[in-house]
Amino acid sequence: MGLALLGCVGALKELRCLLGLYFGMLLLLFATQITLGILISTQRAQLERSVQDIVEKTIQNYRTNPEETAAEESWDYVQFQLRCCGWHSPQDWFRVHILRGNGSEAHRVPCSCYNLSATNDSTILDNVILPQLSRLGPLARSRHSTDICAVPAKSHIYREGCAQSLRKWLHNNLISIVGICLGVGLLELGFMTLSIFLCRNLDHVYNRLARYR
């Protein structure tokens, strides 16, 4: 919005300095996007390993610090939206001590792994949906941030890992993602061309005005 405002003011007031700054910032933004696209394409394996390390660390530290639950809540939201459990599989949660309880208890996973379409249990539905709704506001979030909702691993949970679900989502939406990126890039190129064209025309306007003087 700030960049758009800069371009609008420069065009309306016919200020070459603002138009030049607008062009320079757009060019820098465009070059940054191209660089990021190249890095993501060439370093895909390393990027996937980095994301995997972050997710595995988040799973291992799940609810160990009640004051810092942003990462855990975000991962619960990812599982809830992608309908998956764990990074590779639900077994990723079996090593989390806070979910295991004593040795006699069965393995458990967070409620965000629960398959809502496979049950009509209102208690479980409330435990799964309310934590996700709590992300809509800080007041609602504070009431549920200290609660640990877990369900048995043998119940109706998602059996697919989020790594596979994420790959499927990217594959299914690849055309849309590429189209949006190309559209944004073409818009930026168009605005850069218009800003340079306007700057060049300002010189001709000033020369014509000088002749009439």
Strand partners, 109: 151
- pLDDT for 129-150, tens place per residue? 655 555 544 434 444 445 677 8
Q: Which range among 30-34, 69-73, 116-120, 122-126 has the greatest average pLDDT?
A: 30-34
Between CA 140 and CA 148, with CA 146 as vertex, the angle to 5 degrees is 110
Query: What is the per-residue pLDDT for 155?
Result: 83
CATH class of 8-131+145-212: mainly alpha
- What is the separation of C-alpha 54 from the centre of its chain, rounded to a whole number of angstroms? 14
Q: 158 pLDDT band (50/70/90 cuts)?
A: very high
- pLDDT for 77-112, tens place per residue? 999 899 999 999 999 998 888 886 555 567 889 888
* Residue 202, pLDDT above cutoff 60: yes
- pLDDT for 30-39, tens place per residue? 999 999 989 8
Query: What is the per-residue pLDDT for 102?
Result: 57
d(CA 35, CA 22): 20
Tell me the whole-structure pTM to 2 decimals.
Answer: 0.67
Between CA 200 and CA 208, with CA 202 as vertex, the angle to 5 degrees is 115
d(CA 77, CA 60): 17
The overall average pLDDT reported for the chain is 81
φ, ψ for residue 109 (rounded to 5)? -130, 160
- pLDDT for 174-186, tens place per residue? 899 889 999 999 9
d(CA 180, CA 174): 10
Higher pLDDT, 27 or 203: 27
